[in-house]
Structure 1
């Protein structure tokens, strides 16, 4: 919620249409301004720091899976002997 907005207006516009039974706990007040709600800031790390990395080619993944399968088969063969 933007700090410059009235909490009641924001709540009525953004929260109540989606959760009609919601309420504001006025017992929790910020020490700085004495108003309901705790003043703080949330940083969306995904939004600012995430860098898309395309998935590896399917042929590469398939080759890796076949190599792991062969390794598992060899280990099972050792155990069965």
Structure 2
């Protein structure tokens, strides 16, 4: 029982301004870049007046439906084209 794993506490934070990728400008010192970019203050969610969660409707409520086959779309197009022609002929009279 003496070799128990040590339990660590973790404070999770989120940096809203951090991008998924970073590019170090050519010729710039890497250490200076990292000090400037990583040493920014961490925004804690407890300090933020905007508490909540963003729900993206496309992610949670959208169900993919494959498009109609091209033959059906073409037939629908020509049907609508003929319908439009008859309406225009009715207006011309």
5+ unaligned residues in a row in structure 1: which ranges? 21-29
Structure 1 position 46, deviation (Å): 1.7
5+ unaligned residues in a row in structure 2: which ranges? 1-10, 23-36, 38-44
Corresponding position: 1:76 with 2:84: no
- Matched positions, count: 63
Segments ≥4 residues shifted beyond 4 Å? none
**TM-score relative to the length of structure 1:** 0.56
RMSD: 3.2
Structure ranking higher on relative contact order (CA contacts 8 Å, 6+ apart): 2
1:63 alignment partner in structure 2: 75
